[in-house]
Chain A
Amino acid sequence: MYDFNFAPVFDSFGSLLVGAWLTVQMSCIAMVVGLILSIFGAVGKTSGPKPVRIAINVYIEVIRNTPFLIQLYFFFFALPALGLRLGPNQAALLALVVNFGAYGTEIMRAGVASVGHGNIEAAKTVGLNFFQTLRYVILKPAMRAVYPALTSQFIYLMLASSVVSVISATDLAAAGNDLQSQTFASFEVYIVITAMYFAMSLAFSGVFALIGKYAFSYPVNR
């Protein structure tokens, strides 16, 4: 019978917490930058000139139909051949942003498309100017419609970011790999790491649900 030995894992728990913090940091930065990219992508895809629309479509299809791991390898191993050398953490962040951008563009586009044309005309009729229309009539309902999809995409991003440890970027999975090569308690290390990822995804969905309840819920008459 195998003797589980969690003691060495918990002795170095601090290093795992640092790793978890790095994962949260990297995912949040990738999310924010990716979201900005998505907004530009969605605007370009809905109202840009034809070449821009085609370029955005190609970007979305290529990213969505190739594995994230290959995208990561591309930015870390293949780009230096073109003269652009990135560190592991930079390549990881870039891959996460580019990946999130493709899914985010589709999500944002669907959100903007969900705003009825009549609403925009109505806003014009009641005398709202362009920015008021954009803010109150288009963006707010669009955000409400896509908020759940965006949050689950974020959690997916955070879990997928564990893969960046294979190009020696520093995150929770990398902290786990280091610890298992020091302690040889592979199974115990990965059990703890998996539990930490699970806790992080539960915590984030809890926080997102709370934010959604106050900021992005539909107004109800009370």
Chain B
Amino acid sequence: MIREFGPNEIIYITLAIRYTILLSLIAFAGGAVGGLIIALMRVSQNKYRRWFAVAFIRVFQGTPLLMQLFLAYFGMAILGFPIDPWTAASFALILHAAAFLGEIWRGCIEAVPSGQHEAARVVGLGYVNRMRHVVLPQAMRIALGPTTGFLVQLIKATSLASIIGFTELTRAGQIISNATFQPFMVISLVAALYFVLCWPLSKLASNMEHKFNQATTR
């Protein structure tokens, strides 16, 4: 029997957006911690730390996210963990986000004028205090726009988790589409939901970048 595409189906798909949001938040939170570490390693004085950060960023930016998800998924089985789409998707997306945020934030840290580093050093601040009280607060202002922009990329990227069996918005749409044979309606609805989620963030990101550019250029 073919199911109708009715209110229940619309509600089922719409509610599945919570898993998309949750997965995006997990990936963003984990990626932010990892990204900060990678960004600090990337601007470090120690060349091995720098090399590690460069290699990490290159590998994750130079390979498809889908392959990273497959490797996380099948790699878990090899390491003896039970295969679970939640863990695999979170793990792969966190590493993916760490690489991209690391590269974005490196640029923001380097955009803080070097006089600020030097002045902080002259007044006797150690590495931790220099970064925490002088460099990072200024870098954060620069980073706000690009980071929000990346969040949009990340939300869109979570749709790939559907391929390894994670039931979020895209997969919920697929399930309903297969049951109702109404692919046009279902896919349009799913696309509209992603749009509603991403568009305000995109606008916010470009407003912030615009405001920042106006504040710093004449």
Contact = CB atoms under 8 A, between A and B. Distances in A.
A173 B71 contact: no
Interface in A126-182: 155, 159-160, 162-163, 165-166, 173
Interface size bracket, B side: 35 or more
Contact of A65 (B79, B152, B187): B152
Given A2-B78, A77-B183, A82-B184, A70 B67 contact: no
A61 B157 contact: no
Given A66-B198, A73-B187, A187 B66 contact: no
A202 interface: yes
Interface in B102-160: 152, 156-157, 159-160
B66 A163 contact: yes
B8 to A, nearest CB: 21
A21 interface: no
A6 interface: no
B62 A187 contact: no
A190 B159 CA distance: 20
Given A77-B183, A197-B64, A69 B170 contact: yes
B75 interface: yes
Nearest to A73: B187
Interface residues of A, number: 36
A197 B191 contact: no
A162 B71 contact: no
B195 A62 contact: yes
A190 B191 contact: no
A162 B67 CA distance: 8
B194 interface: yes
B202 interface: yes
B216 to A, nearest CB: 18
Interface string B55-84: 000010011111110110011011100000
A61 B64 contact: no
Given A187-B75, A191-B71, A65 B194 contact: yes
Contacts of B68: 194
Interface of B: 59, 62-68, 70-71, 74-75, 77-79, 152, 156-157, 159-160, 162-163, 170, 173-174, 177, 182-184, 187-188, 190-191, 194-195, 198-199, 202
14 contacts: A64-B152, A66-B198, A70-B159, A73-B174, A77-B183, A81-B183, A162-B67, A163-B66, A187-B78, A194-B71, A197-B63, A197-B64, A197-B67, A201-B62
Given A69-B162, A77-B187, A191-B71, 14 more contacts: A2-B78, A66-B191, A66-B195, A66-B198, A67-B156, A67-B159, A77-B177, A78-B183, A159-B64, A163-B160, A173-B64, A194-B64, A194-B68, A197-B64
Considering the complex of A and B, which 7 residue pairs feature the smallest CB-CB distances, nearest first?
A: A67-B159, A81-B184, A162-B64, A65-B198, A77-B183, A67-B156, A201-B62
